[in-house]
Chain A
Amino acid sequence: MNGPHDLGGQMGLGPVAPEKDEPVFHAEWEKRALGVTLCSGAMGFWNIDESRHARENRHPVDYLSSSYYEIWIKGLERLLTRHGFVSDRDLAEGRAVDGAPQPRRVLKAVDAPAVLARGGPCDRPVATPARFKAGDRIVTRNFSPTGHTRLPRYARGKRGVVEAVREGFVFPDSNAHGRGENPQWVYTVVFDGREIWGDDSDPTLSVSIDAWESYLEPA
């Protein structure tokens, strides 16, 4: 979707303001937000793409005025209610009122280090050979899907060069919506800054994205 999360090239959002000696967390609730999010994900009812879309598919005013852990919690509440684990009554009362389905698994403290160390690889075999090779000239598709996509708006309809063929990866545009992993080849594609931003671009700038095969056409 052309959502508020798709920020590349937007202006007026202010300085970066890096914080000196920044702590890992700024409040106790941020620690719990991280943990609740990872533990809920470990139940096994949604994937990272559905999670991302749940965070991003919201009003721009809400998105842009929320801190990142706040966005995570809002997204998590949406996932938990969508999948029937938490009800509006639970949230209104701040305690378990309604029942919930059985989780596929509950992440226990003793297992957490191994689960974190294992991660969740998203590479998958692809049955067909890669359509592009390093050095190929491509043009990215121009589209405006209402669902999830990982092709940023600034990189749509742009001419670039394939720099590297990566691996087959789960396709977020379908996986986020329960329509399957449908893995595709992923490529690192490089654009000249001027192709994206126009003649006023910094002439020393190039930008790359990692693009699924269906985002690309031969140029």
Chain B
Amino acid sequence: MSHVHDHHHHDNELDPMAARVRALETILTQKGLIDPAAIDVIVDTYETKVGPRNGARVVARAWSDPDYADWLRRDATAAIESMSYTGRQGEHMQAVFNTDDTHNLVVCTLCSCYPWSVLGLPPVWYKAPPYRSRAVIDPRGVLAEFGVTLPAGKKIRVWDSTAELRYLVVPQRPAGTDGWSEEKLAELVTRDSMIGTGLALEPEVA
């Protein structure tokens, strides 16, 4: 059964997982244990409200405002909360800054821990065995699959999210962006650059 939805086909009644989840929702609703309308709200929250644009605005502010960057380094939870990004899987935040010397990469080898409040729900690859197994032992090989090649001598720091701290990578600000507004800078900040599997976009690419 498991191979069925490895392909990106449309949901339909023949899919065993669709039937299984519907049965569970039906049972719980009939017993008065859940409110299906709350599910709609949860889905809408993560489809339209909470996503990687949140994190991009945090990064853009850190690039623009040294005091904010310093706060983000010392107390990411409070600095991010000041931009109204709070909540589930973002309760305890830590920002890690890429530098000329070190590139940071975030993984959860044990499950799928991810900073929902700033990046939204994790992509499939982040939760899947290949990334979780390889990020800690072969980060350069993993980065190559994302089209990222780091200089040979650059240090790589992999953060395995084994506890309740959630990590946000602050990528390096691209050259040629002096005087840009936060709004414009945020467009350079990709989701992957905040996981560490990407870099911020160059101005001409964005």
Residues of A whose CB lies within 8 Å of any CB of B are 5-11, 13-19, 22, 24-29, 31-36, 38-40, 43, 52, 55-56, 64-70, 73, 76-77, 80, 85-86, 90-91, 94-96, 99-100, 103, 106-109, 111-113, 116-123, 150-152, 154-155, 166-167, 169-170, 186, 188, 190, 196-197, 201-202, 204-212
Task: Look across to chain A and name the residue whose beta carbon is closest to the beta carbon of B192.
Answer: A18
Q: Out of A56, A123, A152, A205, which one reaches B162, CB within 8 Å?
A: A152
Answer yes or no: B24 CB below 8 A from chain A CBs. Answer: yes
Q: Confirm or deny: B33 has a beta carbon within 8 angstroms of a beta carbon on chain A.
A: yes
B88, B152, B159: the one contacting A116 at CB < 8 Å is B88
List 29 A-B pairs, Cβ < 8 Å: A10-B133, A15-B130, A16-B146, A17-B125, A18-B145, A19-B8, A24-B46, A24-B51, A29-B21, A31-B39, A32-B43, A35-B43, A39-B39, A40-B33, A56-B110, A68-B112, A85-B33, A94-B19, A95-B27, A96-B30, A112-B38, A116-B42, A117-B86, A119-B91, A121-B91, A154-B136, A166-B165, A167-B92, A207-B160
Query: Could you tell me the distance between the alpha carbons of A210 and B165 in the complex, rounded to whole angstroms?
Result: 8
Residue from B25, B45, B136 within 8 A of A207 (CB atoms): B136
Determine whether B37 belongs to the interface, using a CB cutoff of 8 Å to chain A: yes
Known: A17-B125, A24-B120, A27-B5. A100 touches B33 (CB 8 A): yes
Contact residue among B33, B137, B145 (Cβ-Cβ distance under 8 Å from A103): B33
Given the known interface contacts A15-B145, A36-B39, A121-B92, the answer about A8 and B2 at a Cβ–Cβ threshold of 8 Å is no
Instruction: Contact check, A73 vs B33: say whether CB atoms are below 8 A apart.
Output: no
Given the complex of chains A and B, what is the CA–CA distance between A77 and B21 in angstroms?
10
Give the nearest-CB partner of A99 in chain B: B31
Within 8 Å CB of A16, what residues of B?
A: 125, 128, 130-131, 134, 142, 145-146
> Are the CB atoms of B133 and A13 closer together than 8 Å?
yes
For chain B, the count of residues having a C-beta within 8 Å of the partner chain is 88
New A-B contacts (5) at CB < 8 Å, excluding given A38-B88, A117-B88: A35-B38, A103-B33, A119-B89, A169-B164, A202-B138
CA distance A206 to B159 in the complex (A): 9
The answer to whether A94 and B23 have CB atoms under 8 Å apart is yes
Interface residue stretch chosen among B9-17, B56-64, B176-184: B9-17
CB contact between A29 and one of B18, B38, B46, B120 (< 8 Å): that residue? B18
Which of B10, B21, B47, B159 touches A32 (beta carbons < 8 Å)? B21
B40 interface hit (Cβ, 8 Å): yes
User: Cβ of B197 < 8 Å from any Cβ of A?
Assistant: yes
**B158 lies within 8 A of A206 (CB):** yes
Closest-by-CB residue of A relative to B24 is A36
Contacts of B30 in A (CB 8 A): 95-96
Most chain A Cβ neighbours within 10 Å, of B50, B123, B152 = B123
Bound: A151/B110 CA distance, A: 9
Contact A209 to B162, CB < 8 A, known contacts A95-B30, A96-B27, A107-B34: yes
CB distance from B174 to the nearest CB of A (A): 21
Whether B32 is near chain A, meaning CB under 8 Å from some CB there, is: yes
| B41, closest chain A residue (CB) | A112
Distance, CA A35 to CA B163, complexed state (A)? 23
Complex: A181 Cα to B138 Cα, angstroms: 35
User: Which of chain B's residues have a CB closer than 8 A to the CB of A113?
Assistant: 41, 45
Inside 8 A of B110's CB, which chain A residues have their CB? 5-8, 52, 56, 150, 152
Are B2 and A65 interface neighbours, CB within 8 A?
yes
Given contacts A76-B24, A91-B23, A109-B35, contact A13 B134 (CB under 8 A): yes
Most chain A CB within a 10 A radius of its CB, from B39, B47, B89: B39
